[in-house]
């Protein structure tokens, strides 16, 4: 008995090493391809977008004195100098609509989205003299396409010039005059959309941002501002940020919900596989010992190979089909291998009932728990406790000393008809 247990333990150890190699291989394939695939997605769809608040600036030419050595004499010289003053918007009214559309490349899903942006910004000349002000609107990403880009100044179309990722228009303002800038565009981004008030801590006055989504799983990254109001609308949300006088260094941000990553999921399930196999071997060993049935270590080897086939097949099917379909096909193949094999070794009843049920629980259901993020550990813990309860009840009257001494040798395996 002890030698048989040692042989089974050796098979389990070898299978665990194989799963570790498989999981690491899938993980390496996923990460190595991600850098290339991400670049392709950004090149065709766009990168993560950070929309910065527009600013207005004007230039004032003044004079100042400075010391200068002339013919060995230190003299005061008056020179002219241009000083640029920046003016933040005194009112901002923004509406954004985010439409999520996942895209798959290889073993990776990418959270791409379409953003419809409309912004209305009011600026005011703070001086008692006229100025020519440049209204600068930073574009949210360099690697992006902007469709239906439109600039209006006081309701009139304006031709914007673009340089270094900033679109700007010029407006001549009289003393203390106000101007309204309207900007509209449609673009595409990846993973997150953010609105920044500027560098460091900024004061924001009369600000309103409305955001609509076509997805329900909204997520606000750390160190960002939460919406003031949230309203559920069909498949998404209507979110709103309203501030009368805000002083903050945080952004407004939305992270797009991620889809199950086939590569990462397959690697996690592979790394977990030894736990599934341990429970399966444990239950089989208990049942066969109680019934005086004997499974040779070679039988355990082929059962481990059938388990390994599940993870190997799923790891490569995920490249070519939906992860749920790959999981289903791999489960059917592995269960088929185990049941048809044990049907010959132990008979149909044990193969279909005890072995089939144990494999379904410890391989299929335990692995499927990884599809439910945040509940995997709890589901497996409950399964382990239930297994312990059932086994303890089944073996409470077993005389283990006799079993391990082999007092009554196992009967021959039933003939298969």
| Residue 266 and residue 223 in one domain | no
| Residue 91 and residue 141 in one domain | yes
Other beta carbons less than 10 A from residue 103's beta carbon: 15
The per-residue b/e assignment along 57-93, b for 16 or more CB within 10 angstroms, e otherwise, is ebeeeeeeeeeeeeeeeeeeeeeeeeeeeebbbeebb
Domain assignment of residue 216, yes or no = yes
Q: In CATH, what number is assigned to the domain containing residue 142?
A: 2.60.40.3680
Phi then psi for residue 326, to 5 deg, are -60, -40
Domain assignment of residue 162, yes or no = yes
| Residue 146 and residue 204 in one domain | yes
How far is it, in rounded angstroms, from Cα 115 to Cα 99?
Answer: 6
For 281-309, the DSSP string reads HHHHHHHHHHTT----HHHHHHHHHHHHH
Domain assignment of residue 283, yes or no = yes
Domain assignment of residue 71, yes or no = no
Residuewise pLDDT in 10s, the chain (417 residues): 678 888 989 999 999 999 999 988 888 877 666 666 666 777 677 788 999 999 988 887 766 566 666 666 676 666 667 777 888 899 999 999 999 988 877 667 888 999 999 999 999 888 888 888 889 999 988 778 888 889 999 988 888 888 888 888 888 888 888 999 999 999 998 889 999 998 888 888 999 999 999 999 888 988 899 999 999 988 899 999 999 998 888 999 999 988 777 788 888 899 999 999 999 999 998 888 888 888 899 999 999 999 999 999 998 888 778 888 999 999 999 999 999 999 999 989 999 998 999 999 999 999 999 888 778 888 889 988 998 998 899 888 888 777 777 544 455 555 455
Contact of 50 with 140, CB cutoff 8 Å: yes
Range of the domain at 287: 2-36+260-405
Domain assignment of residue 183, yes or no = yes
CA nearest neighbour of 26 among 256, 369, 273, 325 = 273
| Residue 264 and residue 181 in one domain | no
Q: 3-state DSSP call for residue 159?
A: coil
Domain assignment of residue 72, yes or no = no
Q: How far separated are the first and last CA of the chain, in Å rounded?
A: 29
The residue whose two tokens read 């005061």 is 76
Q: Report the number of distinct structural domains present in the chain.
A: 2
CA nearest neighbour of 141 among 41, 202, 52, 221 = 52
How far is it, in rounded angstroms, from Cα 339 to Cα 269?
Answer: 22
| Residue 275 and residue 133 in one domain | no
Domain assignment of residue 416, yes or no = no
Domain assignment of residue 13, yes or no = yes
């Amino acid at each position: 008995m002890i030698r048989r247990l040692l042989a089974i333990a050796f098979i389990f150890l070898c299978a665990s090493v194989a799963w570790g190699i498989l999981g690491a291989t899938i993980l390496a394939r996923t990460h190595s391809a991600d850098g290339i695939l991400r670049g392709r997605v950004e090149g065709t769809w766009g990168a993560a977008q950070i929309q910065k608040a527009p600013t207005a600036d004007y230039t004032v030419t003044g004079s100042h004195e400075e010391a200068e050595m002339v013919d060995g004499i230190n003299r005061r010289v008056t020179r002219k100098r241009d000083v640029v003053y920046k003016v933040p918007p005194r009112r901002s009214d923004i509406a954004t609509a985010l439409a999520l559309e996942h895209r798959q490349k290889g073993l990776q899903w990418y959270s791409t989205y379409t953003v419809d942006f409309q912004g209305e910004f009011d600026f005011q000349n703070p001086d008692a003299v006229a100025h020519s002000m440049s209204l600068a609107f930073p574009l949210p990403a360099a690697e992006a396409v902007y469709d239906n880009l439109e600039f209006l100044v006081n309701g009139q179309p304006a031709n914007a010039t673009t340089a270094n990722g900033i679109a700007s228009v010029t407006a001549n303002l009289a003393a203390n005059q106000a101007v309204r800038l309207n900007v509209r565009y449609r673009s595409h981004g990846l993973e997150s959309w953010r609105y920044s008030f500027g560098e460091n801590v900024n004061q924001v006055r009369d600000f309103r941002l409305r955001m609509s989504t076509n997805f329900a799983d909204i997520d606000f990254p750390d160190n960002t501002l939460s919406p003031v109001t949230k309203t559920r609308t069909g498949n998404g949300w209507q979110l709103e940020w309203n501030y009368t006088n805000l002083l903050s260094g945080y952004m407004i941000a939305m992270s797009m919900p991620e889809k199950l990553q086939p590569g990462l999921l397959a690697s996690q399930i592979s790394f977990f596989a030894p736990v599934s196999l341990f429970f399966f071997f444990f239950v089989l060993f208990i049942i066969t010992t109680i019934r005086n049935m004997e499974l040779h270590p070679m039988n355990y080897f082929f059962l481990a190979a059938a388990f390994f086939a599940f993870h190997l097949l799923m790891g490569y099917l995920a490249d070519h089909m939906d992860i749920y379909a790959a999981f289903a096909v791999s489960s059917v193949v592995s269960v088929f291998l185990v049941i048809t094999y044990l049907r010959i070794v132990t008979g149909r009843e044990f193969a279909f009932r005890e072995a089939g049920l144990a494999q379904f629980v410890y391989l299929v259901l335990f692995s499927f728990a990884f599809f439910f993020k945040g509940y995997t550990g709890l589901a497996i813990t409950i399964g382990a406790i239930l297994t312990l309860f059932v086994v303890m009840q089944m073996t409470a009257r077993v005389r283990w000393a006799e079993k391990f001494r082999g007092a009554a040798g196992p009967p021959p395996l039933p003939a298969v008809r």
